[in-house]
Amino acid sequence: MRGLARWLPQSLFGRLVLVLAGGLLVAQLLSAAINLAERDRLLVAAGGMQQAQRIADVVKLLDSLAPAERARIAAVMNVPPLVVTLHDAPAPAASGEAPRALMFTALLRASLGAEREVRVETGPVPAGAPWPPGPGPGRHHMMMGAGAGAGGGPPGPVLRTQVQLGDGSWARFDTQLRPSASTPPWRLALTLAILLFAVLLLAYVAVRWVTRPLHVLADAADALGHDIHRPPLPEDGPTEIRRAAQAFNSMQQRLVRFIEDRTRVFAAMSHDLKTPITRMRLRAELLEDDEQRQRFEADLREMETMVTQTLEFMRGMGGTEARQDVDINALLESLQSDNEAMGREVRLEGQARAAYPARVSLLRRCLANLVDNAVLYGERATVQVDDGADALVIRVLDEGPGIPAAELEKVFEPFYRLEQSRSRATGGTGLGLAIARNVAHMHGGEIALRNREVRGLEAILTLPRALR
């Protein structure tokens, strides 16, 4: 079953079209087979009825004549394709009763009466038959439904009918049957082909019409992960589609309210925490023990940093800032200048070929976090820019110890740190990479980390040029 599923279309559209087309094709083939069988039955019945009536008339005529006159009349009627001969006894059966022979027997008994002895069988053309295959059936052949195939084809089988006359003698009628039609019924095939094409076209339009809203809904759900404030879906179309669009828009509104409420809560917390932190800092300055005062001040700075970065993380998830064209080269040069002013070494390689539509403050925060990690843990940072037609790729390389392979994804989790200390100089707060990836996702991009072959870590920021 799994092997079969591998060959099936992967999309709902393809599977619906396959089911409809397959079912329609099977139905058309069965219908064609039934029509052809019924056509052959009707042709045999029509031709056999005429032939049975003619034989019945001849039998009645022979019954009314004297033996000498009967032989003369039989010789006159002995003209292919109906060969009439008189015999004292019936010939032995050469073959079984085929369905065609049974049908002809029933027709003949209906004309002669059930009490008349009748024997009917079919067989091949006997040697020395008086009707060699000719170029085609004549008028008499067509009337009797007999004769060789058109165009000089092979002769059909022989229908041998033996009827007992009133005086006990037997009259034998040998008739060459029309061979089964080998030429396909082009008119029927053309009709079925037109019907198949029309239904397939309608099925394609109907399935496309039904599945298109699903594509729109999937694209909207994918875009929602990059921009929570994207325009709502149009609530039109069939009832089911309208309900799905309404549910999606309602979900989007609830998510926006949830994120905004959470951001306001953290903003209020940060505001409320700043007051006691400020009071504690003033009280710490009154301490006479310099060592204790420095420890208090370090703890207070760390608390303030954690509050500030947590607030930045929550604001980054909101993404209410509008996009604008950003000069990536100027942005990176600004970051380089800021880091050099702090005594850090940051090198730039490559250039962006065009501006990038971004939320400038968030993108700057993303790049600053990557550069900060590279400088703090890898001594220096190298920023490489590779601008292509499909994506803008910015790599931030450092020369630090790198990260264990099992931790490359975990470091993107909020508040996750490789070091257990809460020192800003070593462990940080664990939000820098989480904020950076969050900003990348808002721009439809991605951030990945990988260890360099020689030494150090490489952070790869990929921003698509074709924005969704």
Indicate whether 150 pLDDT > 50. no
Give me the count of residues in the chain: 468
Q: How far apart are CA 74 and CA 52, in angstroms?
A: 17
Please check the confidence at residue 152 and state whether its pLDDT lies above 80: no
The pLDDT value given to residue 184: 56
Could you tell me the residue ranges of all domains in the chain?
Answer: 11-125+135-176, 225-320, 323-468
Bond before 81 cis per omega within 30 degrees: yes
The H or E element spanning position 464 is: strand 457-464
Q: For the structural domain made of 225-320, what CATH number should be given? A: 1.10.287.130
pLDDT mean across residues, the chain: 77
Query: In 64-118, which ranges are continuous DSSP H helix?
Result: 67-77, 99-112
pLDDT over threshold 90, residue 347? yes
What is the tens place of the pLDDT at every residue in 85-99?
A: 888 888 877 655 566
Residue 189 pLDDT more than 70? yes
Q: d(Cα 306, Cα 432) in Å, to the nearest integer?
A: 11
Question: What is the longest distance spanned by two Cα atoms in the chain?
Answer: 158
Distance CA 152, CA 391 (A): 73
Q: Which of 43-57, 99-113, 237-251 has the lowest mean pLDDT?
A: 43-57
Q: How much of the chain exceeds pLDDT 90, in percent?
A: 12
Q: What's residue 138's pLDDT?
A: 41
Specify the pLDDT at position 44. Answer: 55
Residue 43 is predicted with a pLDDT of 54
For the chain, the first-to-last Cα distance in angstroms comes to: 37
Query: pLDDT exceeding 70 applies to what percent of the chain?
Result: 76
Grade residue 458 by pLDDT with cuts at 50, 70 and 90.
Answer: very high
For 255-272, how does the pLDDT look when each residue is reduced to its tens digit (9 = 90+)?
888 877 777 777 777 777
Above 80 in pLDDT, residue 273? Answer: no
Query: Is the pLDDT score of 324 beyond 60?
Result: yes
Phi and psi torsions of 175, nearest 5° = -130, 130
pLDDT of 132 above 60: no
pLDDT (average), residues 332-355: 91
Most confident listed range (22-36, 197-211, 284-298)? 284-298
Ranges 1-15, 187-201, 332-346: which has the least confidence = 1-15
Measured distance CA(211)–CA(192) in Å, rounded: 28
Of the pLDDT bands very low, low, confident and very high (cuts 50, 70, 90), residue 48 is low
Task: Decide if 29 contacts 211 (C-beta within 8 A).
Answer: no
Do the beta carbons of residue 434 and residue 365 sit within 8 Å?
no
Beta strands in 126-223 (DSSP E): 158-164, 170-176
Q: What is the pLDDT of residue 463?
A: 93
Domain 323-468 carries which CATH code? 3.30.565.10
Q: Which amino acid, one-letter code, is at 248? A: F
pLDDT at 133 over 60: no
187 vs 365, more confident: 365
> In the numeric block, which tokens belong to residue 107?
């027709």
Whole-model pTM: value is 0.48
Cα–Cα distance for residue pair 241/212, rounded to 1 Å:
10
Other C-beta atoms closer than 10 Å to the C-beta of 454 total 6
- Res 311 pLDDT > 60: yes
| Tens of pLDDT, residues 104-117 | 778 788 878 778 88
